[in-house]
Structure 1
């Protein structure tokens, strides 16, 4: 029998965050298949409102933006996802992957349990998000 080692070519990160599920879906469609550094740059530009994120799903009532049609600036979602992408970059660095060749191949948002706050009727929504990257060949 041969002693073979599994090739480390991907990294994952999971988290549950208090962000909008609908905006998370749209961000996922926008940055999937991008390089990791490009995705971080795009979302940081959304945070400074330089560019708008195109809205594909759940777009009723959203006005057009220059050059992309319906779009918006999901600031809270962008802030949390940039933080996750930087954690993912650190995970890949620890695994010994080349940071310049990382491509986002997995972006899976799911509904998490509702979060109870103080007060009679106050509740919050959570989104569980799994992001994966793989080394581009």
Structure 2
């Protein structure tokens, strides 16, 4: 009695419901002869596996679309929005390596970032400017990430330029006791490969 119940449970577990909602009953008691027949059927059905292999080859042959641009996003960075706009204009339409070199010059205070407003004159052929240290550090970090992203996408760094820098105001964060606000900025930098 117990053996019959176990066999019924095994049959219920092996019933498979297919897309046509028809349960298929599988016989639990198999003989060696039946197993040998199934093996010979599999060997005879090798043509089916060949068609599956051809489908896999076709899938491998389809190429992913070539990427022509790379981007990097900085969220809630501890930098000023006004200085971010100025640095964005400063590095736009430059190669990534050149932009990093120029920002390193800003860190050493050898080159000023042009800024508008009532700001004093600086050395060089600019009307007025500043040396935004924190903003330059954050931009250098983002540009290094952008460089690695563009090499990951297969872009040539010699032909890749920064074509878009978007600084946006992030939500303000309050200081302790709510008396002061921190400045926060979102930055998006995009680079694309020029076709020559």
TM-score between both structures, scaled by the size of structure 1: 0.90
Partner of 1:10: 69
Q: Deviations over 1:15-71 (max 9, x none)?
A: 12010000111111111111111111100100011111111x3x12x1111221201
Q: 1:122 aligns with which of 162, 180, 192?
A: 180
Matched, 1:43 2:112: no
Question: Equivalent residue of 1:81, what SS?
Answer: helix
Segments of 5+ residues of structure 2 without an aligned counterpart are 1-61
Partner of 2:140: 82
More strand by share: 1
TM-score between both structures, scaled by the size of structure 2: 0.64
* Larger gyration radius, structure 1 or structure 2: 2
- How far apart, in 2, do the equivalents of 1:82 and 1:71 lie? 19
Q: Deviations over 1:60-115 (max 9, x none)?
A: 2x111122120110111000001000011011111121122210011001101111
Matched, 1:63 2:120: yes
Segments of 5+ residues of structure 1 without an aligned counterpart are none
Matched positions, count: 132
Larger relative contact order, structure 1 or 2 (CA cutoff 8 Å, min sep 6): 1
- How far apart, in 2, do the equivalents of 1:104 and 1:130 lie? 11
- How far apart, in 1, do the equivalents of 2:143 and 2:160 lie? 11
More helix by share: 2
Query: Which range is displaced more, 115-124 or 125-134?
Result: 115-124
- How far apart, in 1, do the equivalents of 2:121 and 2:178 lie? 38
Q: 1:70 to 1:82 in 2, by over 3 A?
A: same
- How far apart, in 1, do the equivalents of 2:63 and 2:147 lie? 26
- How far apart, in 1, do the equivalents of 2:79 and 2:178 lie? 21
